[in-house]
Amino acid sequence: MRTIFFRSLQALAALSTVVLLTGANDAGCGLSSSGGSTVTAGEGGGTAGTGGGTTTAGTCPDGTAPQWVCAGAEGATVSETTAVDGDFRVYRRTAPRAKGGVFVTTWTFAADGAVAGFTITPAAQPAPTAFLDYVTHARLRLPFDGSWYVSWGGRTLADNDHVIARDQRFAYDFVVRNSKSTHRGDGARNEDYFAWDRPIVAPAAGIVVRAVDGVDDNRPAAMNPRQPFGNHVVIDLGNGEFAMLAHLRRGSVAVRAGTRVAAGRVIGRCGNSGNSSEPHLHFHVQNAAREGDVDGLPAQFIHYAADGVDIARGEPVRGQTVRSRWVQP
């Protein structure tokens, strides 16, 4: 089914162009997005709503056409995502327009493969932040050993879907991949994914302030937006910095609130719980222990390699393969 879905998207490329040029209406449902959804879909995801027809946001200055029409032809794709949302399959493509602006095109497919919805909306903008120049007090090591791939990371929307969310403004998603894929075979099982069940470690010394376990792992491509972080651990690193490590495997969380951890201690194993479409680690630093109404902080890691180049201190970015060079003091 997954393969058929991807083929159907390719077959719809020409139709998509026609719809973009003509603005033809399509009865169906709208989509809402509140966070990072990626190949390793992030913490916001999308939910199928109800609506009638093609949705477009805003109009041209003269009010005669949708905003995306006067923005010109679609340019090179910045990102493409797929996800399962209930009985629907959702495809999103983000791309700039020739005359300015970045737009998200969304196709929604019913279980029988029929097009159930089509939307074009301006891409979200990075959340305002007062912490662009912030320097992390904690000496953070990467929260894993071995080589991992940065699927989302960086300070721009092109590099990081998370930047639209205030609490995840500087978040990362990490997966494990070979030269072609993040999984073996068709990726229908969590066990097919190279990141599945890998140890996740504390990035620095601190005290666990929240440890959640018991959330079921999703099947690949399905998501759980009701419990966005899934099984997760939050560590108080001191100096008003709190590390969030999310989407851990059910039953793997090895700490509890009040546990004092050293850098490098295993706190759980990589899973696919919460608003996640495949096994991966979500990591960010924030300025309070609670969820939601907090500010994300930049997370600079020490002693790691990015694409084979040693980095003394830095922020990994999308597309890099990173590996910890940290050594226990």
CATH for the stretch 147-324: 2.70.70.10
Instruction: Tell me what the pLDDT averaged over the chain comes to.
Output: 82
Q: What are phi and psi of 100, to 5 degrees?
A: 120, 150
- Mean pLDDT in residue range 276-301: 96
Exposed / middle / buried, residue 303 (Cβ in 10 Å: 0-12, 13-18, 19+) = middle
Residue 161, pLDDT > 50, answer: yes
pLDDT at 72: 83
Contact (Cβ atoms closer than 8 angstroms) between residue 141 and residue 251: no
pLDDT at 329: 79
Dig out the tokens for 230 from the structure: 């899934």
Give the separation between CA 202 and CA 244, rounded to whole angstroms. Answer: 10
pLDDT at 149: 97
Q: For residue range 74-90, what is the model confidence (pLDDT) as tens digits?
A: 889 888 888 776 677 88
- Comparing C-alpha atoms, which of 100, 73, 83, 102 is closest to residue 33? 83
pLDDT at 89: 86
Torsion region of 287: left, alpha or beta (phi above 0 gives left; psi -120 to 50 gives alpha): alpha
Q: Which residues, listed in sequence order, are joined to residue 152 by a DSSP beta bridge?
A: 173
pLDDT at 2: 28
pLDDT at 120: 86
pLDDT at 134: 98
Q: What are phi and psi of 22, to 5 degrees?
A: -100, -25
The Cα-based distances of 144 to 137, 164, 266, 294 in angstroms read 20, 26, 9, 25
Q: For residue range 215-267, what is the model confidence (pLDDT) as tens digits?
A: 999 999 899 999 999 999 999 999 999 999 999 999 999 999 999 999 999 99
Contact (Cβ atoms closer than 8 angstroms) between residue 148 and residue 321: yes
pLDDT at 223: 93
Percent of the chain with pLDDT over 70: 79
pLDDT winner (highest mean) among 13-17, 19-23, 119-123, 284-288: 284-288
- Taking residue 12's Cβ as centre, other Cβ atoms within 10 Å add up to 17
Residue 194, pLDDT > 90, answer: yes
Hunting for tokens 């990467």 — which residue is that?
142
pLDDT at 82: 85
Q: For residue range 17-57, what is the model confidence (pLDDT) as tens digits?
A: 333 332 322 222 222 222 333 333 335 433 222 223 333 44
Which sequence spans correspond to the domains of the chain? 2-122, 147-324
Percent of the chain with pLDDT over 90: 59
Contact (Cβ atoms closer than 8 angstroms) between residue 302 and residue 140: yes
The residue with greater pLDDT, 154 or 83, is: 154
Locate the DSSP E strands across 115-269.
115-122, 147-152, 172-175, 199-201, 206-212, 231-238, 241-248, 260-261, 266-269
